[in-house]
Amino acid sequence: MQPASSPPLLNLYDLPRTALGEMLAGWGFSAFHRDALWEALYRQQVQSLDALDGVLRPDLVKLLRERACLRRPSVHHETFSSDGYTHKLLLRMDDGQTIETVLMRFKGRATVCISTQAGCAMGCVFCATGQMGLVRHLSPGEIVAQVLHVTGILRQSGESLRNIVLMGMGEPLHNYDGTMEAVDILVDQLGLAIGPRFITLSTVGVVPGIRRLADEDRPVQLAVSLHGATDAERAALVPVGKRWLLDELMEACRYYSEKRKRRIFFEWTLIAGKNDTPQQAHALGQLLQGMDAHVNVIPLNPTVGFGGTPSDPAAVRAFQDVLASYGLPSTVRQRRGIDIDAGCGQLKAAVERPRRSLPATR
Ligand code: SAH
Ligand code: SF4
């Protein structure tokens, strides 16, 4: 038990390997000890500091016990889709906040969708997380712990994690530093060693963040959520479309493309009668023509706070055909696990609905 006056214990999962090394160097331990601790955290994936006894030097373990901790969220609620592929977790952090993490297993390629914030400030009208508002940013350790939780689950059946998508609750580029430190930890070759091409960061279009990402060359694939190809149509669904107009957003995307020489994915949630018309598909085609772009169309997952419905399959196909006429490849992304509220923010909304006295119908 910590005395009331001592500083809070440092969560080791919050530190990339360089920062961990600087801390240990200050305590008189070399990079060799840093790497031994790192491997224990991310290769062996120890669950507590007690498990470091006999692994690290006793004086280091003693200092870690006095000054640090391994903070992991607990499972507040979990559901499995009827097809067995999707496992959705509502994880609870120390301060009682809950966030969503979704594990999808498909043909031996496991993907986890993780959150970067509790809630979200961006207010997209169709999104359950946006309907909640922002509570707070997640720390790097809270982002990393979601991945550790699912690698723990996968290890039980001898599976490993392949893809990470930053498409859970929150806007990753609004929590830029926390997210990028987490990415540094996830790709570290001595630890989880997730391939940089296998991490996808999805943003609502935070222009300064996209430019910073282009300048820093972080090892992620970029996905930009558009949903509208004119400022007025986009802003009706994505309020920050008023802050960063499409001209400015597309200029940032082109800057990213040119600097990083990487394809950008664009996401488009298809809502019947709202943004699924041929005229909007043509506008999108014109907007992206000539770019190294791929469009992911996602039929709407209905949420309590938004009256829209998903586009029917014929409208989805027609939309894709128009994009193809501009030379734009596209893929339909089903939000898998709809039967378990597996849309962004939906499990939290469903579980906490009685307390938040939201309408009970969906
Ligand atoms: N904040 C980031 C990442 C989280 S949302 C972003 O907006 O990109 C990940 C993706 O899910 C976004 O493309 C978002 O528009 C989409 N999405 C959110 N709620 C949805 C819903 N109810 N139905 C379909 N797609 C949704
Ligand atoms: Fe936030 Fe993304 Fe949801 Fe928009 S879609 S409210 S940016 S989480």
Active site residues: 100, 344
Answer yes or no: CATH 1.10.150.530 is held by domain 11-69.
Answer: yes
Q: HSE, CB side, 13 Å, CA atoms: give it for residue 13.
A: 27
Structure confidence at residue 64 (pLDDT): 98
The pLDDT of residue 347:
65
Query: Regarding predicted confidence, which is higher, 362 or 292?
Result: 292
Ligand 1 centroid from CA 350, angstroms: 17
Q: Nearest CA to 12 among 185, 267, 257?
A: 185
Q: Predicted confidence band at 219 (pLDDT cuts at 50, 70, 90)?
A: confident
pLDDT of residue 30 exceeding 70: yes
Paired with 102 in beta bridges are 88, 113
Tallying the residues shown for the chain, one arrives at 362
Report how far ligand 1's centroid is from the alpha carbon of 120 (Å). 11
CA of 122 from ligand 2 middle (Å) equals 6
- Among all bound ligands, the one having the nearest atom to the CA of 240 is 2
Check for a shared fold between 11-69 and 74-352: no
Q: What is the CA radius of gyration of the chain?
A: 21
**CATH number, span 74-352:** 3.20.20.70
What pLDDT score was predicted for residue 3?
56
Mutate to test the pocket of ligand 2, among 100, 114, 120, 207 (most ligand atoms within 8 A of CB): 120
Q: What pLDDT is stored for residue 359 in this prediction?
A: 33
% residues pLDDT > 90 (the chain) = 85
Which of 127, 297, 311, 347 to mutate to test ligand 1, by most ligand atoms within 8 A of the CB atom?
127
DSSP 37-73: HHHHHHTS--SSGGGGBTTB-HHHHHHHHHHEE---P
Could you tell me the pLDDT band of residue 144, with boundaries at 50, 70 and 90? very high
The residue contributing the CA closest to ligand 2 atom 6 is 130
pTM to 2 decimals?
A: 0.93
Average pLDDT over residues 213-230: 94
In the chain, domain spans = 11-69, 74-352
Q: Which helix (H) or strand (E) holds 35?
A: helix 31-42
Between the CA of 210 and the centroid of ligand 2 the distance, in Å, is 16
Q: What is the pLDDT of residues 49-76, one digit of tens each?
A: 999 999 999 999 999 999 999 999 999 9
The whole-angstrom separation of Cα 213 and Cα 218 is: 6
- The string of pLDDT tens digits covering residues 318-361 is 999 999 999 999 999 876 544 555 555 666 766 665 433 333 32
DSSP 263-295: -EEEEEEEBTTTS-SHHHHHHHHHHHTTSSEEE
